[in-house]
């Protein structure tokens, strides 16, 4: 082997049994960033292998889904979404929703799905749910590209609200990863989670303001709606940033943000606590 | 820790909890409802020490072997050192990056091409993208699959697959390398190449911790070895002494002890206490070479004196397929036994069988009665041996038997 270089003073690692709660080791995560991207690129490469339309699905999926909602709610039910065309309205809602649900779904399956890696190699286990997030962010990026095209076609000009778009994206990711971390940790011992989520996720889609605006709800229920479903504030905010729809009241945005950040921190802690036992249980 | 130590292991212990509870919850619902119904109940648990107070050091640049029988705790220790699992007690200090090869080709994906798998597998083993790119040509050359780099590995032969996987692993640049039994892959030529690579790694000043059942390989690669037995360290020192220690300790397990076996049938007037295999040089063994003469000993205890006792040993595959029955009655051999214990011996000229693990069942009877019958009483292996003196061995796909044969050209006969 040529070019064999060994650092004269190699870093020393001390391993001891850990107890209780541990924080996220960001330095370790950065050290393994190449693995993070390799796993994400594996996911992306494999997803459309052996499909006829291949990558076209990345574009087709959100368009077809928004088309279906437009047919059911916009045309059949005749839902009015202020001055925004319904297709654009539901497309934006779905983009936010898909980012949430794909990330949650991938994160929850990441530990069990990669059991053969977990029991044979060391790496910070957080890499697994995070690599799934990268591939769902990629899909989200494609949706956003389509969104730009649609906005040009429909002649919708975004305002200054666009500047806070990254905030909604971050909060949606925090929320989905937080729940996903907990789901992944639970799935290691209890596979039930794998069966609950596919039922819960579509249910949550209709319980969130994706196909309809919160303003259509009777005024007295809006408050409860925002409080019970923290996603509501984030999806409404996301859509407001793009399409000038009615913005969610600030106090509910604060509530959603607080829950999203709590979910992320709590989820990461639960995950870190569970990862120690994973190789022994899986 | 002195700067010359690569690995320092101090009082490392690891327990597993074994639940003796047949109704342990496996679903969330069960777990919750149980907590609600019996909030203070604790299921019966037993602690099993997979490792207990193991301490030893490995110096920088040393190739150290870890030997022990199955279940001795070798794999658990390797998993602790490679941070896959955590120890329960103790401390480990590692100087430098640790690369561990507990398996060849971890994370290889069938649908990805050879090239894609090199990058994926390298990253899984802890290499950065830059390191893989730097070593890429060397990896490809070592593997010898240049022409198929853009082919999905599902179309590879198993040999190519293993070669590519080992090639990636062999180019892992870590100061400490932990290797579990990966030398047992590939054909003979490739195995030699792998052994050579392991030797190179050591001369580069890196540290290797190696687990293998191949004592010859261990003796040629290592100068020191550690012997584990039932989770405890029983010997640490020179490799030859360690191998001797391991072999002698194994002696206790060489006898197929049957005294505690309940799954047996027969009158019990005579009971087989144990089985043992003795090789031509007179020592007990559980591993014989094909065609090597050996002797099976049936150690029995008779309650009363008995006449016309017949004995049989059945030679079986592990799936229960009977290969042969060594039945004394076929040769008109019967024995008169006195009360008390004794041994019967069956001499076998040699087994023309391919290397594998086989099982023996024992039968004692006479006068149309069964006295004792124990199936799967003992297992033994036929060891891989260079029977033809050519360095080429038939593997599992080449049939069950090894016959003595010779091909010649005899011109035109018919």
CB-based contact, B165 to chain A, within 8 Å: no
Candidate from A10, A35, A46 with C-beta closest to B97:
A10
Q: Which of B28, B87, B173 to mutate to test the interface with A (most CBs of A within 10 A)?
A: B28
Could you tell me where in chain B the CATH 3.40.50.300 domains are found? 5-26+43-250
Measuring CA to CA, how many Å separate A149 from each of A155, A156, A157, B77? 10, 10, 12, 57
In a mutational test of the B interface, the residue from A122, A194, A196 whose CB has the highest number of chain B CBs within 10 Å is A122
Per-residue model confidence (pLDDT) at position A7: 44
ipTM given for this complex: 0.81
Question: What are the pLDDT tens digits along chain A (282 aa)?
Answer: 334 444 445 678 888 888 778 778 888 889 899 999 999 998 888 887 767 777 788 888 889 999 999 999 988 988 888 788 999 999 999 999 999 999 999 999 999 888 888 888 889 999 999 999 998 999 999 999 999 999 999 998 888 899 999 999 999 999 999 999 999 999 888 888 888 999 999 999 999 999 999 988 898 899 999 999 999 999 999 999 999 888 999 999 999 999 999 999 999 999 998 888 887 876
Across the interface, whether the CB atoms of B94 and A49 are under 8 A apart is answered no
pTM for this predicted structure: 0.72
Cα B103 to chain centroid distance, Å, stands at 14
Distance from the A11 Cα atom to the nearest Cα atom in chain B, whole angstroms: 5
Helix, strand and coil in chain B, % to nearest 5: 25, 35, 35
* Chains A, B: CB pairs < 8 Å: 130
**Binary contact (B111, A119; C-beta < 8 A):** no
* Out of B28, B84, B129, closest to residue A279 by CB: B84
Q: Please say whether the beta carbons of B350 and B291 come within 8 A.
A: yes
Distance from CA of B86 to the nearest CA of A (A): 6
Per the CB < 8 A criterion, the answer to whether B74 and B68 are in contact is: yes
Query: In this complex, is the C-beta atom of B126 within 8 Å of any C-beta atom belonging to chain A?
Result: yes
User: Residue A249's Cα: distance from chain center in Å?
Assistant: 23
What is the fold, at CATH topology level, of the domain defined by B5-26+43-250? Rossmann fold (3.40.50)
User: In the 8-state DSSP scheme, what is residue B384?
Assistant: P
Pick the CATH number of B257-388 from 1.10.1370.30, 2.70.50.60, 3.40.50.300, 2.60.40.420: 2.70.50.60
| Stretches in chain B below the pLDDT threshold 70 | 1-3, 18-26, 39-46, 70, 181-191, 213, 248-255, 391-397
pLDDT value, residue B308: 92
List CB contacts (< 8 A) between B28 and chain A: 186, 190, 192-193
pLDDT at residue B189, as a whole number: 67
Mean pLDDT rounded to a whole number for chain B: 83
Partner B contacted by A7 (CB < 8 A): yes
Partner-chain contact B106 A42, CB within 8 Å: no
Tokens of A101: 């649900």
Strands B207-211 and B176-180, bridge-based pairing: parallel
pLDDT of residue B64: 92
- Any chain A CB within 8 A of the CB of B38? no
Strands (E), chain A: 12-15
| pLDDT score at B1 | 47
Start-end of CATH 2.70.50.60 domains in chain B: 257-388
Cβ-contact B117, B164 below 8 angstroms: yes
Two structure tokens written together for B304: 């009363």
């Amino acid at each position: 082997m040529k070019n064999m270089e060994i650092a004269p003073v190699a870093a020393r690692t001390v391993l001891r049994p850990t107890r209780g709660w541990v924080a996220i080791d960001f330095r370790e995560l950065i050290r393994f960033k190449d693995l993070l991207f390799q796993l994400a690129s594996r996911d992306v490469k494999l997803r459309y292998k052996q499909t006829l339309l291949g990558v076209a699905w990345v574009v087709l999926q959100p368009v077809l889904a928004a088309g279906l909602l437009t047919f059911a709610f916009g045309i059949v039910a005749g839902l009015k979404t202020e001055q925004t065309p319904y297709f654009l309205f539901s497309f934006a809602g779905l983009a936010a929703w898909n980012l949430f649900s794909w990330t949650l779904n991938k994160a929850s399956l990441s530990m069990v799905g990669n059991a053969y890696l977990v029991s044979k190699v060391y790496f910070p286990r957080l890499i697994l749910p995070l690599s799934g997030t990268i591939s769902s962010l990629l899909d989200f990026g494609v949706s956003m590209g389509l969104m730009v095209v649609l906005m040009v076609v429909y002649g919708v000009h975004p305002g200054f609200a666009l500047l806070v778009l990254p905030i909604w994206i971050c909060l949606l990711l925090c929320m989905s990863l937080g729940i996903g971390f907990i789901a992944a940790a639970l799935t290691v011992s209890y596979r039930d989670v794998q069966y609950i989520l596919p039922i819960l996720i579509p249910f949550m889609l209709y319980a969130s303001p994706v196909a309809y605006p919160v303003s259509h709800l009777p005024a007295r229920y809006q408050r409860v709606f925002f409080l019970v479903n923290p996603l509501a504030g984030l999806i409404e905010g996301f859509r407001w940033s793009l399409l000038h729809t009615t913005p969610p009241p600030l106090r509910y945005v604060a509530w959603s943000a607080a829950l999203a950040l709590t979910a992320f921190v709590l989820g990461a802690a639960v995950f870190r606590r569970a990862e120690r036992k994973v190789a022994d249980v899986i | 820790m002195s700067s010359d130590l690569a690995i320092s292991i101090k009082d490392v212990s690891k327990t597993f909890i074994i639940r003796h509870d047949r109704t342990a919850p496996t679903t969330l619902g069960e777990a919750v409802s149980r907590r609600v119904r019996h909030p203070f109940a604790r299921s019966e648990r037993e602690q099993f020490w997979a490792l207990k107070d193991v301490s030893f050091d490995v110096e920088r640049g040393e190739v150290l072997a870890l030997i022990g029988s199955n279940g001795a705790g070798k794999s658990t220790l390797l998993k602790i050192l490679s941070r896959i699992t955590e120890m329960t007690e103790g401390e480990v200090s590692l100087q430098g990056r640790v690369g561990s090869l507990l398996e060849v080709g971890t994370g290889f994906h069938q649908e990805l091409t050879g090239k894609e798998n090199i990058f994926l597998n390298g990253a899984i083993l802890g290499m950065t993208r830059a390191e893989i790119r730097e070593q890429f040509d060397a990896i490809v050359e070592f593997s010898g699959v240049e022409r198929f780099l853009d082919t999905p590995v599902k179309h590879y032969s198993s040999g190519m697959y293993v070669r590519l996987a080992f090639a990636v692993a062999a180019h892992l640049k870590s100061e400490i390398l932990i290797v579990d039994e990966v030398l047992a892959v590939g054909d003979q030529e490739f195995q030699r190449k792998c052994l050579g690579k392991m030797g190179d790694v050591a001369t580069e000043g890196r540290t290797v911790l190696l687990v293998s059942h191949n004592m010859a390989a261990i003796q040629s690669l290592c100068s020191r070895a550690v012997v584990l037995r039932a989770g405890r360290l029983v010997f640490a020192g020179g490799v030859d002494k360690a191998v001797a220690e391991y072999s002698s300790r194994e002696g206790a397990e060489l006898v197929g002890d049957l005294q505690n076996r309940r799954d047996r049938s027969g009158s019990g007037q005579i009971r087989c206490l144990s089985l043992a295999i003795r090789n031509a040089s007179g020592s007990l063994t559980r591993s014989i070479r094909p065609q090597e003469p050996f002797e099976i000993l049936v150690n029995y205890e008779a309650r009363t004196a008995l006449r016309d006792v017949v004995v049989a040993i059945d030679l079986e595959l592990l799936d229960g397929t009977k290969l042969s029955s060594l039945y004394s009655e076929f040769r008109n051999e019967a024995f008169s036994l006195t009360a008390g214990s004794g041994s019967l011996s069956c001499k076998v000229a040699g087994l023309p069988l391919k290397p594998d693990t086989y099982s023996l069942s024992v039968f004692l009877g006479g006068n149309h009665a069964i006295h004792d019958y124990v199936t799967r009483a003992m297992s033994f292996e036929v060891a891989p041996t260079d029977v033809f003196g050519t360095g080429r061995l038939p593997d599992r796909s080449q049939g069950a038997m090894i016959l003595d044969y010779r091909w010649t050209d005899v011109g035109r006969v018919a």
